[in-house]
């Protein structure tokens, strides 16, 4: 009897929905006042535009790699192929999985912590109650994901519908208020393009980019996407375009009702926005919908990340137990359960403000910059026919992406960047110990 394998059951609509619900988690609702505060002026909208631009440019890199290697695990495969499957690619792909075992649970935990934080608008929670709620969210997500991929695709569409309803209600309420155009008309009031502005947009972009992350989730599910050469890039660009428009309209809607000077001070700015327009009952309803969105984000992120340790283990580069696929439901259940367990622990230990910068700092060097450089190497070594999607103006977008990611890394701060480097350094040590014990590269080069 053949071993169970992943099945290609997710089409363009499901892939786009999974990307979008991953992108629109609790992030934009919590980071909205943070971004306004960092920019400290009506020009805060530029930080959201900057996040969209970076996402579009980076998605070109993901599209080339995702269509060339449409397999479960995404960046694991990209890094291995780019740097050499029998050479440095072993270390780069190992480091990606190594950081994923820490970073992925941080992402899941951040959405769960954000859920609990925003829930306190409805019911005041003690610190212990908040942590229990965030932990409970992680457990429920794992239970929902413990099923076949086609069932998960249907759940994703259902959750996506709630995301769209929430954003359109917020935007529609602002338009109905009648002052929707004002924030756009005054976007440049007092604006001076100088070092202070560039520095501010850098700090603010750390938060806005966090709210866009997830546009590449489809690449982690590459082995389960139908017609990947078309659906992988299309789902990413559709996701980014749709979310960018919705984010901008949502921000404009909010500050057309609540002045930006007041919005930057509010932890529950969307709930206060709706209370101002339609009363306390409407504010509670929109809060419930925001919680729906946060829950959907945890669902999508956990789904994508659970495929990464599985892909590495199936390739013989990680612990074999992670390669196990459920015999009847056909999904990597060990990987899901382990990541869910770590995320549960993190949701009890950390605060949201701590994890946002840590998430970016840990991912930028190995994943984003590492695979951008890797694409340059691949395009030199392989014929163009190996890349179903080809970015316009290559290699300019790659260099632009690398420069922007380095700038974002700098703006995460020295402490968070140091943590990221420490995680990578520990991973390098573990890799060399593993390679020595298993007689692998770089100690033994003649391997199959």
What does pLDDT average to in each consecutive run of 10 residues of the chain (448 residues)? 74 91 80 90 91 95 96 91 91 90 85 88 92 93 87 83 88 84 85 86 86 91 93 97 93 91 88 91 92 84 87 84 90 93 90 68 88 96 94 96 91 82 90 88 69
Backbone torsions φ then ψ of 72, nearest 5 degrees: -60, 140
Q: Which of these, 314, 313, 394, 414, lies nearest to 63 by C-alpha position?
A: 394
Vertex 226 angle, CA 220 and 230, to 5° = 85
For 202, the token pair is 């850098």
Vertex 188 angle, CA 182 and 191, to 5° = 145
As a whole number of angstroms, the distance between CA 320 and CA 313 comes to 5
Options 1.50.10.10, 3.20.20.80, 3.40.50.300, 1.20.1740.10; which CATH number does 12-438 get?
Answer: 1.20.1740.10
Vertex 246 angle, CA 207 and 275, to 5° = 85
Query: Tell me, what's the pLDDT at 354?
Result: 62
As a whole number of angstroms, the distance between CA 22 and CA 84 comes to 31
Query: Tell me, what's the pLDDT at 24?
Result: 82
Q: Are 112 and 343 in contact (CB under 8 A)?
A: yes
Query: Tell me, what's the pLDDT at 355?
Result: 66
72 beta partners: 221
- Could you please report the per-residue DSSP string of 244-256? HHHHHHHHHHHHT
Q: Are 342 and 107 in contact (CB under 8 A)?
A: no
Query: Tell me, what's the pLDDT at 21?
Result: 83
**Cis preceding linkage at 395, omega within 30:** yes
Annotated domain spans of the chain: 12-438
């Amino acid at each position: 009897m053949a071993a169970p394998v992943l099945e290609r059951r997710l089409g363009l609509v499901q892939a786009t929905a999974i990307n979008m619900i991953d992108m629109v988690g609790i992030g934009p609702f919590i980071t909205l006042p943070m971004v306004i505060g960092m920019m400290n002026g009506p020009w805060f909208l530029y930080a959201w535009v900057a996040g969209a631009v970076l996402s579009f440019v980076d998605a070109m890199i993901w599209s080339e790699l995702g269509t060339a290697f449409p397999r479960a695990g995404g960046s694991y495969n990209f890094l291995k192929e780019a740097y050499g499957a029998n050479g440095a690619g072993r270390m780069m792909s190992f480091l990606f999985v190594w950081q994923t075992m820490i970073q992925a649970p941080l992402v899941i935990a951040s959405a769960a912590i954000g859920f609990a934080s925003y829930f306190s608008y409805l019911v005041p929670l003690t610190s212990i109650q908040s942590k229990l709620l965030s932990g409970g969210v992680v457990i429920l997500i794992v239970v929902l994901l413990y099923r076949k991929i086609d069932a998960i695709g249907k759940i994703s569409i259902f959750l996506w519908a709630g995301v769209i309803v929430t954003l359109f209600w917020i935007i529609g309420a602002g338009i109905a208020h009648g002052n929707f155009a004002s924030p756009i008309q005054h976007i440049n009031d007092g604006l001076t393009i100088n070092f202070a502005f560039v520095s501010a947009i850098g700090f603010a972009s750390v938060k806005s980019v966090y709210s866009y992350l997830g546009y590449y989730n489809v690449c982690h599910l590459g082995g389960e996407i139908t017609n990947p050469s078309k659906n992988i890039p299309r789902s990413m660009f559709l996701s980014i375009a749709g979310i960018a428009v919705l984010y901008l309209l949502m921000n404009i809607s909010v500050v057309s009702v609540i002045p930006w000077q007041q919005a930057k001070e509010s932890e529950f700015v969307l709930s206060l926005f709706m209370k101002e327009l339609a009363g306390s009952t409407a504010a509670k309803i929109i809060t419930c919908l925001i919680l729906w969105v946060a829950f959907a984000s945890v669902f999508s992120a956990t789904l994508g990340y659970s495929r990464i340790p599985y892909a590495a283990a199936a390739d013989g580069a990680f612990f074999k137990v992670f390669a196990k696929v459920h015999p009847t439901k056909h999904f990597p259940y060990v990987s899901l359960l382990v990541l869910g367990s770590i995320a549960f622990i993190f949701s009890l230990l950390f605060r949201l403000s701590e994890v946002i910068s840590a998430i970016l700092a840990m991912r930028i060097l190995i994943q984003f910059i590492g695979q951008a450089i890797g694409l340059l190497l691949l395009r030199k070594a392989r014929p163009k026919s190996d890349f179903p999607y080809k970015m316009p103006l290559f290699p300019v977008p790659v260099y632009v992406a690398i420069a922007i990611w380095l700038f974002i890394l700098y703006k995460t701060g020295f402490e968070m960047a140091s943590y990221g480097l420490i995680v990578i350094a520990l991973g390098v040590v573990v890799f060399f110990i593993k390679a020595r014990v298993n007689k692998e590269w770089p100690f033994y080069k003649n391997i199959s």
